[in-house]
Structure 1
Amino acid sequence: MKKDAKSKKKSRIRLLHQYYSYTGFYSFVWKSVKKAILPIVLFVAALWAIDRWVLDIEQMLVTVTETYSPLGIISVFFASESLLGLIPPELFIAWSGKSSSPILYLSLLALASYLGGVISYFIGRWMTKIPAIHEAIEVKMAQHIKNTRKWGGFLIIVGALLPIPFAMTSIAAGIIKFPFPSYLMFGLLRFVRFYLYALVIFEMV
């Protein structure tokens, strides 16, 4: 019985591997990783150049921390993460590194990003109820929606971990009515992304 269970499990894994290979999931992830590397390198290089020749970034972040309330900064980030992820999270991660409680505020930023994704998911669900908006979004996000239908949870994992707008993936998940409990579970990897990026950014600033 145990051998049969193991063989079935191996067969299932093999079939999944074949499916993701055939549908281009691995090549999509690799292309996304390559696209992600350049923005990260450019961001780090820009931070270094600005800090060296333009202004003291550390002092600037300290000034922002002293001028604006943490609640206000996190609220702005939450709004951004709920609406297509317009502001790079790296800026806020750098801010949290100069705050009075870096790990606390980093965790709150990760939570804001996660909850922003949930809002985006329900925006996607809401869009399906308005035919005109649904049709327009279906055209603009056609490829993203197609990929979400093909790869489901794995694409949500990629969206949570890589520097691509998590809100877009979340909206697409809502549009196709991806199971909400599974979305919540996969979306938790958003926290992992923030902590990993913080390891690099905290050292830079």
Structure 2
Amino acid sequence: MNLRVKLKFLFNNILKGLLWMAILAALYLLAKEYIVADNHDIWLERFYSRPMLIYSIYIGSEILFGLFPPEIFMLWAYFKGDVWHYTANVLFFAGVSYAAGYLAFLIGRYLRKVVLFRFLGRKFFSKYWPLFRKYGSFLIITAALTPLPWSLISMLVGTTEYPMKKYLNLALFRILRFGVYGYIIFQSHQLA
């Protein structure tokens, strides 16, 4: 497969990610205007007075295949404090996401040896196996940068004979995603 097809796959998914981010931004602005504005104090106390709960939900979400988009947590972090606090939170979120992907990769390494998983894995990964066969390393990069399920793709890669060092290097694109999305979120609030 030539590089052009792989790059097209990557850019199509990046565009989907940006569309997803635009939808989240629109929902956020609507909620801020029509829900939070009327009950500002209740919402602030409910979500900002318990940061450990928010961090726990985020960590659980990243380990359980990204139940919530990380951008929601970046929005929370923006209103939690100053620019340094926001940056520290985005770095924390990126580190947790990278670690959750690595954990999923290791789980995949273990599961490939389990006979029952070979049967269940066909059903569980049926949507992503063909993509991995077709795109290989580009699927890791695409999952790191876009809304594709990061932990699930990492687990799938772990079930193959994919080299761990190469996976860890490609997984660094996940941190790039958080940097770019965090910057976009920060700048969009500076303009508002």
TM-score by length of 2: 0.83
Alignment of 1:5-84 (within 5 A): 19-21=2-4, 24-56=5-37, 62-64=44-46, 66-70=48-52, 72-84=53-65
**Displacement, 1:149?**
3.3
Contact 1:159 1:165 in 2 (8 A): yes
Residue 50 of structure 1 aligns with an amino acid whose one-letter code is A
Q: Compared with structure 1, are the counterparts of its residues 179 and 195 closer, same or farther at alpha carbon in structure 2 (3 Å cutoff)? A: same
Contact 2:16 2:146 in 1 (8 A): no
SS, match of residue 157 in structure 2: helix
**Displacement, 1:65?**
5.5
Q: Compared with structure 1, are the counterparts of its residues 58 and 147 closer, same or farther at alpha carbon in structure 2 (3 Å cutoff)? A: farther
What is the distance in 2 between the residues matched to 1:59 and 1:188?
39
**Displacement, 1:173?**
0.8
The residue that corresponds to 2:185 in the other structure is: 201
**Displacement, 1:166?**
0.8
The residue that corresponds to 1:89 in the other structure is: 70
SS, match of residue 142 in structure 1: coil
SS, match of residue 65 in structure 2: coil
Residue 133 of structure 1 aligns with an amino acid whose one-letter code is F
Q: Compared with structure 1, are the counterparts of its residues 40 and 59 closer, same or farther at alpha carbon in structure 2 (3 Å cutoff)? A: farther
TM-score by length of 1: 0.78
Residue 19 of structure 1 aligns with an amino acid whose one-letter code is N
Contact 2:10 2:138 in 1 (8 A): no
| Segment drifting more, 111-120 vs 127-136 | 127-136
Structure number with bigger Rg: 1
Identity %: 25
Residue 36 of structure 2 aligns with an amino acid whose one-letter code is L
What is the distance in 1 between the residues matched to 2:159 and 2:129?
8
Structure with the greater relative contact order (CA < 8 A, sep ≥ 6): 1 or 2?
2
What is the distance in 1 between the residues matched to 2:130 and 2:42?
43
What is the distance in 1 between the residues matched to 2:41 and 2:121?
42
Q: Give the unaligned 5+ runs of structure 1.
A: 1-17
The residue that corresponds to 1:8 in the other structure is: none
Alignment of 1:143-162 (within 5 A): 143-162=127-146
What is the distance in 1 between the residues matched to 2:99 and 2:147?
17
What is the distance in 1 between the residues matched to 2:66 and 2:96?
12
The residue that corresponds to 1:126 in the other structure is: 110
What is the distance in 2 between the residues matched to 1:109 and 1:31?
25
What is the distance in 2 between the residues matched to 1:175 and 1:145?
11
Residue 49 of structure 2 aligns with an amino acid whose one-letter code is T
Contact 1:160 1:187 in 2 (8 A): yes
RMSD over aligned Cα atoms = 2.4
What is the distance in 1 between the residues matched to 2:44 and 2:137?
39
**Displacement, 1:52?**
1.5
- The total of aligned residue pairs comes to 185
